[in-house]
Structures are given as structure tokens and as C-alpha cells.
Structure 1
């Protein structure tokens, strides 16, 4: 695999939404996410057809275990081997696994065991895929465009959720679960040549997070391999097949640096780096509190609220649509504007205002009002989420970005879902109103952290 290098001092010169290189990355990411959505439709349908509802639920949940357990290690892998190489390898494995199960289902009726195995494979691969996906934007655009890329990524996620479900349903309707798994594998496969065509760049010195934002100590830098090639010596120009003017001072982002440390040492260095960083440490806490207060009410809580109010499945669907439209509008805003001033302050106030809207959702009189409140929740949550993601991208040293993304993903996808069974049990005991208000209070604490920690409150996006 070869990479076309952009010299560290060079800038792309185009906004991200007009840069063909970024658009190729976006197309690859979107295709992979749509494939993921189709995969989950196929897995749920096949599991229901092959077993009981309880068994189907177990198959759907089994992928969460390796994803949560291995996520931090996935961040180390992304930083050690390069995010693009890890993403391409992950997509190839997911594609092969999906197509293999499609062929198996087409030829025979194997029961639940291959579905459970497929879920474990996807969960394991996700543990390395997610941190690498988070670290990749810094290698395809300049630092001042990373906020816009976060908005573009949010639009891709919204598009995948809107398109993937109907595509999966149509595939199941016309060809069964085997056709849906095959379609998912092909959609994921499309991302591979697109990613190979994306030009990589090594973040320049002035593209990196400001040293004043917090950094690891000298020992941490050594552990991360910076002194031995984390962003180290330039490779030989002839070996890369590139002119001296392109290669001088550049490090091939997909080349594994020469390291003398162990993966465990890299993981420990990454955790120390986050803990010592004056912006990243409180930002992780704000994200954790915001997600803990948000996930329960907007998942299991909304279902129970719709049942209690007699809205039915269609009413709940409209409320979820309102949330999706609001989140999409926030992503579009950041895509068009590229950055918002006072990012840390805006994120904090958005989390606080969003928490008030979450609490209000349990007390609205009808479906129409609930849709309006959900749209507001989506707008505020989408805005705060995009800004927090952009701050993670721009504040983190590129050498640690995989590990930083891994911790953030673990908080959002590993710990926050634990609030769902707790929310369900609490609603059963006390009702929807008190639980939504309590969840809103937890979410609001994330905004309080963002507004009370001076370095996070003053954090800005480059541009």
C-alpha cells in the first residue's frame, strides 16, 4: 500500500466540504456506516428467525462485550500502526465476515451459532475500528478544518441511519437475511478502494495542539514513541518513491514507527496524557456525564413514555424523527460554518440547555409538542456533541489521538448504555417524570463541568 504524502508545512487550501480528498474519505465513511446499518437489520432479522426473542436479544447484545473490553487496546493499535491501515483492515474483516455468513445462510439453516460468532467478530473489530476512525480526519485535512469535518461526519451518520434501515428492510423483503448480509458486506467493501485513494498527511508542528493546553511529561512522550519515531525521523525519500521536496521532514502516516515500548506502556502513557491535559481531562468528564444523562431517556425511557401517554409506535417514531432532524441541523451548521467561536463555552451552555429540554420531554401534553421538544434536544445535543468531538480532535496531540478517541468511545458506547436498564428499572419504580428529571440533572452536570473549568470554558477551535 502506498501513500501520497503532503509535506508537513503544506496546507490543502480548500475548505473540507470542497476538498476532493476529504470527500473521498467522507464517501468511504458513509458507505461503511450504511453497511453497518444494513448489517444490524440483517442480524436482528436472522436472529429472530433462527431462535426465540430472548435468544435474538442475546445475539444482538453479545457484540458489546468485546467492544467494551478491547476498546482501549484498539486505540493503542490505531496509534501504533496508523489509523488508515487499521480502518482498511477492519473493513476487510467485516466485509469477509458478513459475506461468509450470507453464503452460509443461503446454503443452509445453521441456527444461531454463526450469528453469535459474527456479532463477536464485529464487536471485536469495532474495538479497533472506532478509535482509528476518530484518528483519521487529522491525517486527511488541516487542523483548522477538523471542526467542519466533524459536522460532515455527523451528516454521514444521520444519512446512514435514514438510508440504512430501509435498504436493509428491502434486502430482507426480497432476498431474506442472506441478501441483507451480502448487501452489508458489499457496502462496507466499497469503502476500501476509496480509503486507499485518500491522500495522507502528517500533521505539521503548527497543526498540533498547543503545548499550553496540557501535555504528557517527558516520560510519557518517550513511552508514546515520539522520541523513537512517533512523529520521528523522516523516511528515506527514495524508499517512498517520492521527490525529496515531498518527503523531506514528512513521516508516512501509515508506517508503523520503530518503538521500544510495549502496547501496555503505550496505553498507560495515553491515559496519563489525558489525565494531565488541562482541556481533555475535564472534557472527557463532561462527555461522560452528558451521555449518561442522555442515553437512558432517549432510548428505553422514550419507549416507556410513549406507551404511558398512548402515543403508540407511530408517535414515538415522530419524536425520534424530530430528534434526528435537530441533530442533522446541528451537523449541517458546523459543516457550513466550519467553526463556532467560544467552542468550549457554547458546548457547555448547549449541554445545560439540552438537559432542561430532556427533563421537559416527560411533561409535554401531546405528540406534536414532544416532537418540537425532541427537535430542540437533537439540535442542542448534536451541537454540543459535534463541538466536543471537534475539541477532542484539535486539542489532542496526533500521536495520542487513537487513544484519546478510544477513551471517548468507551465512555459513550461502553459506560453510557449501562444507564438504559437502570432507567427502565427506575421508571418502573418512580415513573417517567422523576427519572427524566434525574437524568437531565446528570446531563446538566456535564455542562456545569464545561463552564466551571477555566481551560475548557476558554477552549477555542482553530480557524
Structure 2
């Protein structure tokens, strides 16, 4: 009988982390809807495009440096400061937009918020692997994924409600409050964390390339990056652009778009909840490879569905598989990355997701003009099959990448 003591997971801190994220993500999605609607009112489609670019480009660029900041300064230092700055930004934005009915305040808020979120993203990704290890990390990531699924479902109508009963400043004030809740949770979650020891002669600029150097040196991380990149690349355009076009071509009505997306979200939420309870009992190969094959097949068949009902059913099945596959990708990536370079690793993984959507939309939208919507969608499904293949190749390599640098793992306080 094995009597080796297993590390205790501080589930109280994990719950505080997930709960804080639930609050701040809800406020963020509500604010997104409110800002986009306000931009439409003040400048039409062009204004929304400018706002989206202002929010996404700085965030993607700052992700490169966010990993270096997290590894060099520690997640507590980065998260407390960026979160505080974001709360102050949103509060000031509420004051300004209450009196200024122009587009420029929205663009400034989106730009600065994008920078702050890009710097904070990798530091947030460092926290869960510090609290949970092995199979328990899979459960923790599934809990985190549930938050990300629930936030848009509840945040979108909340944003619409806030903009209906008030103006944009109300949504900004609400987002500032949820940001303050997240800040309070961070104070609890990161209590007792120490800053890593500085590495002589290593600058932040040099460390900003650590994530890409990890991909070059470690095959398992490289193949998991490919798996995430191909899946996000294949899914972004069908979900955001092709679905409304296909529904319009079939004459099913705009309501079908909402129903299909809702079915996907509900399916993903259900399987994320299942993963939070039972992920440690489901083999990684099933969560990663089998679900990846099912996802690719589902994306492929969605383009061929003859009715809105059948498309909705397949979308729900794709959501179910996605709720297991996504946390599995994150978990294996975290388990494979060197602990002292976790921030850099999470920055590149975030780039595979956040940085992929605009590229996917630009590339496949151009191809659809030549090939047609359905054929391009089928091409996306074919690309998605690269993801489970890359996952198989990743599993054939050693589990943990070792770096020849001093280990400066942050101390994790014991559970209260």
C-alpha cells in the first residue's frame, strides 16, 4: 500500500480565484456589449472596428511581455498593480463618459485596458499550477473553464440591460466594481507570495522571448501549442463570421444564430462542470485526443447540416467536447512547462488563442470569397484534425521540460 503523502490542494484559495474571475469576467462581458453598442450609436460599423482593434492589438502585443513580467516580478506584484490600475481606469472612464458623448473616450479606455489585460493574462495563468498538481490541476482548470463559459452567457444580457436602463457610464461603473471584487480575491489568493530572486544580467526585454524559446527547445510544448493554435484557428471564423452567413443562405432566420451559439455554450458549460468533478478520473488521452477528433469532425459536419435543428444538435455536441478538450490542453501545457518559466509559457499559449481570431477571420473570409462559405467551412474542419494529431505527438515526449536556470518557484502558503 502506497503511503506517500499527497500534496493538499488549498481549495479555499482556488475557490477564491475562480469566484473572483467569475465576477470580473461577468463585468467585462457586460462592458464589451455596452461599449460596442455605444460605438454603433456614435459611429456605426467603422467605430466598432476601431474599438475592436484598439482593444485587441495592444492586448496581443502585451501578452509577449506579460509572461516576462510574471516570471521576473512574480504574479502578486503584476496582478495587484494591473488590477488596481484597471479599476481606476474604469472608474475614471465612468466619470468622463457620463458627460462626454464622443467616441474618443471609448478608444482610450479600450487601448489602456488592452495593455493592462495583456500584462495580467500570463500572471493569472501562473496561479492554478501553483495550487494544484497532477490530476487535481485538471479539475481546477475545468472549474476555471466553467467561469469562462458562464461569463458570456450572463454578461451579454447584463450589458444589454445596463445600457438600456442607463448609459455607458453605468456599465463602466459596474465593471469597476467587479474589478474591485477581483482585486479583493487576489489579495487573499496571493497572500504570502514572495517575489522571485532576480537573475543577474537578464533583462525583461530578453525574457520576453522566453515563451518562443521554450517552444523551440521542448517538443511537447511545441506540439501542444500547435494543437491549440489549429483548433482556435479552425473554430474562430466559423463561429464568428460563417455561421450568420450560412444561416442567411439557408433562410433559417437570425434567431437560429443565437440558438446555435447558445447550444454550444450550454454543452461546453455542462462538460466543464463534469470535468470539475471527474476530470482526474478521465484519461488524458480521452480528454485531449478523442475529444479533439470529435471536435474536428463536429466542425466539419456543421457545414453540411440540412436544418437549423440538426445544426443546433451538432453545436451542442461540439460544445460538450470543447468543455473537456480546452482545459485538457491548458493542463498538459502547464504540467509540461518549467515552473520558473510558467509565465512565459502561458503568454505563448494565450497568443495561440487571442492572437488567432483576427488571423482566422482575415484568412478564411478572403478564401470564402473564392471558395464559398460552405467549402471554406469544410476546410476549417480539415485543419481542426491537425489538433488531435499534434496532441498525440505531444504525448510521446517527456512530461516536464527542464531549463538550465536557477529555480525560483514562488512559495505557496498552506491552506488555512
- What TM-score do you get using the length of structure 2 for normalisation? 0.89
Aligned match of 2:143 in 135, 152, 155? Answer: 152
Residues 224 and 394, structure 2, Cα contact 8 Å, conserved in 1: no
Aligned match of 1:73 in 65, 68, 78? Answer: 65
Change (3 A) 1:454 1:324: closer
Aligned length: 396
Matched, 1:13 2:5: no
Residues 140 and 199, structure 1, Cα contact 8 Å, conserved in 2: no
- 1:334-393 per-position Cα deviation (integer Å, ceiling 9, x unaligned): 100142444145412222221111111111111111111001111222221111011112
Specify the alignment match of 1:257 in structure 2. 197
Alpha-carbon separation, structure 2, partners of 1:392 and 1:427: 33
Residues 224 and 391, structure 2, Cα contact 8 Å, conserved in 1: yes
Residues 230 and 387, structure 2, Cα contact 8 Å, conserved in 1: yes
Matched, 1:433 2:400: no
Is there any run of 5+ residues in structure 1 with no aligned partner, and where?
Answer: 1-8, 201-251
Specify the alignment match of 2:363 in structure 1. 422
Specify the alignment match of 1:180 in structure 2. 171
Alpha-carbon separation, structure 2, partners of 1:267 and 1:422: 27
**Secondary structure at 1:182 match in 2:** helix
Residues 102 and 182, structure 1, Cα contact 8 Å, conserved in 2: yes
Residues 81 and 254, structure 1, Cα contact 8 Å, conserved in 2: no
Matched, 1:125 2:116: yes
- 1:105-144 per-position Cα deviation (integer Å, ceiling 9, x unaligned): 21332x1111111111111112112111111112333444
Q: For residues 299-448 of structure 1, what are the structure 2 equivalents within 5 Å?
A: 299-344=240-285, 346-448=287-389
**Secondary structure at 1:311 match in 2:** coil
Alpha-carbon separation, structure 1, partners of 2:281 and 2:5: 24
Change (3 A) 1:263 1:125: same
Residues 345 and 450, structure 1, Cα contact 8 Å, conserved in 2: no
**Secondary structure at 1:63 match in 2:** helix
Alpha-carbon separation, structure 2, partners of 1:86 and 1:375: 38
Alpha-carbon separation, structure 1, partners of 2:353 and 2:395: 24
Residues 344 and 459, structure 1, Cα contact 8 Å, conserved in 2: no
Tell me whether 100-109 or 314-323 shows the greater mean CA deviation.
Answer: 100-109
- 1:413-455 per-position Cα deviation (integer Å, ceiling 9, x unaligned): 1134311132223223322221111001111112122224552
Matched, 1:196 2:137: no
